[in-house]
Amino acid sequence: MKRERTQVCIIGGGPSGLLLAQLLHTIGVDSVVLEQRSREHVLSRIRAGVLEQGTVSLLHQAGVGARMDAEGFTHDGTLISQGDEMFRIDFTALTGTPVMIYGQTEVTRDLYEAWDACGGRTQFHAENVTIHDADTSAPHVTYRVGDAQHRIDCDFVAGCDGFHGISRKSIPEDRRREYEKVYPFGWLGVLSETPPVNDELIYTNSDRGFALCSMRNAQLSRYYIQCSAHDRVENWPDDEFWAELKRRIPAQTAEALVTGPSVEKSIAPLRSFVTEPMRWGRLFLCGDAAHIVPPTGAKGLNTAASDVHYLFEGLRQHYQDADDEGLDCYSERALTRVWKAERFSWWLSSLMHRFPDQSEFDRKMQIAELDFLRTNEAAQKAMAQNYVGLPY
């Protein structure tokens, strides 16, 4: 068994784990990142596109904001449509804050490059990662690479291994509580090397179901349509995807849409999930390991970032001031913000999708609420405040 020591053992080399590692590096705290997949696999996942200002600031704090500043798009608002009616929510006018369009793939790439540049250690292909003695003052983590067994002794374990990871499940069942809502549909997403149909995102509620027009850059568009929870990408050749998208978005937008071959196509299920608490002894959960939101509110990566902020502050206080207040309050602080993001994502998902069991009355409620949002500044302000991100 190969044995080593670090201060913080980070499980998961997605955005949460890498951002935490990079922030710890800025204060001289040593960490190791254990990732079960390859770097190429992690960087091939197409996920989030919208960053809150708090996430942007945290990336700057970690020293990885340069490419985002140069290549990302600042968006001052978003469009919402219902049928052929479209209206705009002006984030900057309503809240003073825009959002940043910069893909999670690029954020992760920037984090890996910065981590490499500072000599940070990532163990890819780490199999059978297991957390031991997290409820004692001397936890350790074991894992396997090929035939070699490894052991890392550490002060703390950060569980940043996403929804399917092992960290959450390492907390005994009688010490955690899980809350879950599974939505009866998914999102079919397509990435295409075509110019975005509009310079801001368009969220669409149509009689045929939800659609979203998003982007990555001036030549790379990201589109989504609501699909059945049991659907498969093979059922959606490109032509059928574009035809269905055009049926859902306003006619004038459909006319302007430039289509092309898809370069990625995937289906994501929609789920709301929270586990409480987010700490067990010296194990701290961050990001998707602790909570999932439906993508409608663009909150997943952003709540992962706010968790990392609270955990980093707790670890900084521990190492620099010998004060554990931040670590002791971590779970409560993170969850207070997480539940608000859960509420917003659930609300926007409920407003924008067609539900299989939706009655005509339910449909009228959606349309009335969308009209209220279109015409009421207080409602727009509440939506904008949540979308650009509640304060940390």
What residues are labeled active site?
75, 203, 295, 299, 387
**Which of 299, 318, 337, 353 is in the footprint of ligand RFL by CB under 6 A?**
299
> Residue 310: what are its φ and ψ, rounded to 5°?
-65, -40
- Residue with smallest beta-carbon separation from ligand PHB: 49
Distance CA 16, CA 308 (A): 6
Residues that bind ligand PHB (CB under 6 A): 48-50, 201, 214, 222, 295-296, 298
Bridge partners of 369, per DSSP, are none
Question: HSE (CB half, 13 Å, CA atoms) of 378?
Answer: 0
Q: Which of ligand RFL, ligand PHB, none interacts with 296 (beta carbon under 5 to 8 A by kind)?
A: ligand PHB
Q: Residue 222's binding partner, choosing from ligand RFL, ligand PHB, none, with beta-carbon cut-off 5 to 8 A by kind? A: ligand PHB
* Helix, coil or strand: residue 251: helix
What's the min distance (Å) between Cβ of 364 and ligand RFL?
A: 29
Which member of 43, 93, 254, 268 binds ligand RFL (CB under 6 A)? 268
Q: Which of 79, 298, 352, 384 binds ligand RFL (CB under 6 A)?
A: 298
Binding-site string for ligand RFL from residue 41 to residue 60, where x marks contact by CB under 6 A and - marks none = -x----xxxx----------
Q: Which is nearer to ligand RFL, 232 or 364 (CB)?
A: 232
Q: Which of 160, 334, 352, 388 binds ligand RFL (CB under 6 A)?
A: 160
CA separation, residue 132 to residues 143, 282, 314 (Å): 11, 10, 22
Q: How far is the CB of 328 from ligand PHB (least distance, A)?
A: 34
Regarding 302 and contact with ligand RFL (CB under 6 A), the answer is yes
| Amino acid identity, position 261 | P
Length of the chain: 392
* Strands 220-227 and 148-153, bridge-based pairing: unpaired
Peptide bond into 277 cis (omega under 30): yes
103 binds ligand RFL (CB under 6 A): no
**Which alpha helices (H) appear in 178-274, and where do they start and end?**
238-248, 251-256
3-state secondary structure 349-384: HHHHCCCCCCCHHHHHHHHHHHHHHHHCHHHHHHHH
- # residues contacting ligand RFL (CB under 6 A): 37
H helix intervals, 237-359: 238-248, 251-256, 300-321, 325-352
The token duo for 289 is 């390991």
Q: How far is 267 from 289, CA to CA, in rounded Å?
A: 20
218 DSSP assignment: T
Helix (H) or strand (E) holding 205: strand 202-206
Identify what 72 binds: ligand PHB, ligand RFL, none; CB under 5 to 8 Å per kind: none
CB contact at 8 A, 345 and 272? yes
CA distance 136 to 309: 24
Q: Is 165 near ligand RFL (CB under 6 A)?
A: yes
Provide the minimum distance between the beta carbon of 346 and ligand RFL in the complex, in angstroms, as a whole number: 15
291 binds ligand RFL (CB under 6 A): no
From ligand PHB, ligand RFL, none, which one binds at residue 37 (CB under 5 to 8 Å depending on kind)?
Answer: ligand RFL
The tokens for 14 are 């997605």
Residue closer to ligand PHB by CB (options 122, 214) is 214
Q: Using CB under 6 A, which of 8, 9, 20, 34 touches ligand RFL? A: 34
CB of 64 or CB of 190, closer to ligand PHB: 190
Nearer to ligand PHB, 113 or 264 (CB): 264
**CB closer to ligand RFL out of 74 and 320:** 74
Applying CB under 6 A, the span of 176-184, 200-208, 291-299, 342-350 interacting with ligand RFL comes to 291-299
DSSP class of residue 9 equals E
* Rg, C-alpha atoms of the chain: 21
- Say whether residue 189 binds ligand RFL (CB under 6 A): yes
What are the residues binding ligand RFL (CB under 6 A)? 11-17, 34-37, 42, 47-50, 104, 126, 129, 160-162, 164-166, 187, 189, 268, 287-288, 295, 298-302, 304
